[in-house]
Structure 1
């Protein structure tokens, strides 16, 4: 059941299920809390699971024209404080991973573990920054086609056939994202800083989960990143959307990670 708080006059939607050590699940770009619908029931058997709709996604409002990682993390922090949670584990998918890192920087002593799911502690390359600027210009005039194209490009031909229904439902959720939310998140991601050193120096449990067919992140680069940041890494067989393409394996690995944190 979704609940909400008000943060800087914006509605922030969240859910809170289960008991035990808190696990905060942070979704990615063009997603919302529904991406965790198969994962929540499994993790909440032994843990308290919190999900938050990010600014400009799901049932949460937009808050300006740049949703920086700092601003995103402040909304997550507001929910955590509202729920009176002292320590927690973070799991962030893609954009959610960037936000998890930002939140962890502000509250390192409160973090029991951090999982980057199809995500990275690296900042954007110059090429990717240029791509985000171009995408934001396109979004103003041709948003629906832009979302369909970028979303479907996350999946290979085999995944498109195997997970046709799941991909269709996820795409419908993506299309509900307001244009302002799209642009603000892209700007925030473009401007975010590199977090390699912070992650390397952190003492909490660290896990990087990457798909060997991920079109967004090169998994060999993720292996190098894991070594540099002293993080455990697991390479999954799918692509960027592990919660769809390798769901059962992902649940198994997350349950194992949460248990050792």
Structure 2
């Protein structure tokens, strides 16, 4: 399968298939283990992060398109009691730097590797939401000795589907990219409103997400959707890590490709949420992630 940027692929698929809680530390916080200040820099770009809790296992959370690390606040509070929990703003988003020209999966994957190395993270479970599924997968390929497993959050819903063989799909992709370059905010809002929110998604959350989209750097956001030929099935096989999927069921997960390619996986579904289950139903999401972690540690 050739890679299509996450949101464009998502909408083409729709068309084609009809009080003790630890507080996060900021980037100038003291590292518990080394008692020094760690400034994360990847490829010359500063990465803003939080580093909470301690433990023999690290959960590294990576956000999706046009949002930021604050969307993992419920997970930081819950899991930081038992594990080391790190959240980052990907370069180009949130409070991280933007001084680079490449915004593809390979470059973001190197960011994940650099975060792991610079913070000295061990026994890492990578958790990636939306487009960050591919990013943490690439990070696992780049730093295999440090990564235990991958957790995708509402992504990898059609691994191995060669939709790029469709002339119609290619045309729609080109049209979507052209429209986004002409009017980024209008097209992005349309994507979220029509395909990523569910009837149960609260007004407050909708407004929060759309506000973050509106204030994102459109040049970076659009570049993230450009073609970079990332092959998810091939990289999953190369990573040799079990894939755990915590996916919303508002759109079904097609596991045919995972099964046919013998990629080890476990699907855990959150019922009746949109594309952001970690903030729409945090308690249920945390319970499912707890289950995934228990399975990872058991093996």
TM-score (norm 2): 0.75
Matched residue, 2:118: 82
- Does residue 138 of structure 1 match 2:179? yes
2: distance between equivalents of 1:84 and 1:117? 25
Q: Does 1:233 align with 2:267?
A: yes
* C-alpha displacement of 1:204: 3.6
In the aligned structure 2, how far is the partner of 1:256 from the partner of 1:55? 30
CA contact (8 A) 1:144 1:175 kept: yes
200, 204, 222: which is aligned to 1:165? 204
Q: How many angstroms apart in 2 are the aligned matches of 1:9 and 1:200?
A: 31
Question: 1:43 Cα shift?
Answer: 1.3
Aligned to 2:280: 245
Shift in alpha-carbon separation, 1:199–1:171, aligned structure 2, 3 A: same
Question: Residues 132 and 12 of structure 1: is their aligned pair in 2 closer, same or farther, counting only changes over 3 Å?
Answer: farther
Which structure features the higher share of strand residues?
1
2:163 pairs, out of 102, 122, 125, with: 125
Residue 258 of structure 1 and its aligned partner are, at CA, apart by 2.0
Match of 1:13 in 2: 48
Q: RMSD in angstroms over aligned alpha carbons?
A: 2.4
Q: Which residue matches 1:2? A: 26
Q: Decide whether aligned partners of structure 1 residues 156 and 178 sit closer, same or farther in structure 2, where only a CA change above 3 A counts.
A: closer
2:86 matched to which residue of 1? 50
- More moved, 234-243 vs 46-55: 234-243
TM-score by structure 1 length?
0.85
* Aligned residue number for residue 92 of structure 1: 128
**Is the 2:197–2:206 contact (alpha carbons within 8 Å) kept by the matching residues of 1?**
no
| Equivalent pair of 2:69/2:89 in contact (CA under 8 Å) | yes
* Contact kept in structure 2, 1:210 and 1:236, CA below 8 Å: yes
- Name the CA distance, whole Å, in 1 between partners of 2:148 and 2:246: 17
Take 1:76 and 1:255, find their aligned partners in 2: how far apart are those partners? Answer: 22
Deviations 1:142-198 (A, max 9, x none): 2222222122223456224xx1112211221222210111122111xx324223244
Q: Is the 8 A contact 1:55 1:181 kept in 2?
A: no
- The alpha-carbon deviation at position 123 of structure 1 amounts to 7.2
Cα deviation, residue 110, structure 1: 1.9
Bigger radius of gyration, 1 or 2?
Answer: 2
Gaps of 5+ in 2: 1-24, 28-38
Contact map agreement 1:12 1:53 (CA 8 A) in 2: yes
Question: Given the alignment, which residue of 224, 236, 258 partners 1:185?
Answer: 224
